[in-house]
Structure 1
């Protein structure tokens, strides 16, 4: 049996590995020229943590993880700490099953894990656009790989071209939450790296939030979130670096230094969810953010990508004909959709409080975070941040 996986992100690479271990031949088609170098820090826990443990990936993920003692909130004008989240308490609320990972590092772990499959069973084709995309290179080769596949898995992200080819324009299925998020990493800032080594610092601000943290290789990372209406009506042709400098310039002096070094093409995208009435058609099925984007506010995008991919491939892996594959896809949706809907609901709730719209909401968040040091409040707050662990018996593996 052969599979074509569109997208070499978390869901795509996890799907490719698991199918190859089940005896399939797999081609992964990725539009980028190589693994992504930029990204943001993620909390990895919940169903994805459980799936990674079953897949035998935890040792490699632990090696790639960062040790974060606390997330600090600071007054952007004075630089004084206003509140913090103790990550040891967060981890304790999750029974220690929490890792802090940079998105590119998680991708590299999954890419390396393809080597666990039989030699030659997985082939990753970088610079290969999905045949339906404008400007697709080598369309004949891509078409050949797709036509010869028993299953096509569309794991090409929130702006999925595979989804568009199946169900139409993304405007029908993308649900923006009124926010945007940006992230990038810079080299050559030793003074910033030293100042924020071992620290993850966020501004305690209204409508906008800027974060800064140091990486182990000497680089410094920026995380920026803002309300779309806070950006105002952008001038025609405004690029992402210019927009970020306009929105965040003057907010906080360390961020001004990072903005001066913003690369030409930072990650900068809408915070949104994907809501679809169905996730498959014919021999093609969607995975990861292409069908189940919960938004980064829910905090479990990467976790759900891996857990969903494990479930999907556990069902498809034993199949030997089209009828069995169709049944597997139906079962995947039946078992996984309730989990996604639960996490999306949590993400929508978080969207209302993630960026305080006024000083009153800012103070409420600050007091809640300060109160999280109390034993009873701590458990409630940390469980709320975690968003629950999902439905029991979902994966069934």
Structure 2
């Protein structure tokens, strides 16, 4: 059953499950019929973990039912837009760093400050962790774990080809050479060294940060035409040399695990978020390994920063704000829930939960934790919240332009000019 593309009723009908409120203390009983709607996107594995936590919750919270909906990435944002237009946003819904600012400014999220610390017991996370989900001095979500960008690679393919494994000091030039050599070593059709990364805004952001710039700055674009042209030229040159997947393969990527070229068995390397290593490994035949994204020069800035892997926010139209906050508190603070969730949504922000889950982590999950620890001396400051229009910029401008480039319908110079000109019209501070 394709869990991540189905709607579930968690309660007396559909899947018999629910989500628990509270975190180890006495949990109140709710009047029969209290119902919360929860919505997220992700893989089958994420859906299963969430549903298992739901079962745990229902056992601790009499009278509460959760209507849960899990879906693919693109379908999720369409559904959320429909809910916003109808003023019927899910009580609890999933966001991530690139969208929380945008959606909170559009009025989709309920400010959670009134629930801290009475209901949301997140003091142990540290003030800096709460800043990751704070927009305009209000708390609009709770991070479900820490992660950062990452380079995943098929270790067996590297070893078979006799090529050195990528390390943290790998430069972009070295990466490009590896990608071309991997394509040649693969020796088969429809298999390449790496992705056509021109369409990943988070990789572009790291690329810019390595050069002293950023994707956004002061509520506007943080880069110019020359920066974008250099970016596009790199990927087009690499594509023409055979180091990236073909355009028709890359355009399948909807920023979900099951559509990524690495997960599809079309490339030896992939770029994603560190917590997703768990999901990738589940559908990959060979052992995957993880390291930082390539950097401009050895010893130079990594471009990385810690980010909340995913975020639970509360819908602004909810009639059950307190109950929704209690659900989130359980999700991030209950040790048994943490053992079920592992690090699939990132390394837990709660020190107590991290300590509780460590003995039970499998080698892949341990690798994800080690990666987050490895970055502690290499991360820069967390960027300012993305401006209004950033989601539209990514989905309707950045990715389509990169796709046109990969299909040779435009040039790096033309693509760069268009990205900046149309980007300025899309981004609203």
Compute the TM-score of the two structures, normalised by the length of structure 1: 0.27
Q: Which has the higher strand share?
A: 1
TM-score, normalisation: structure 2? 0.26
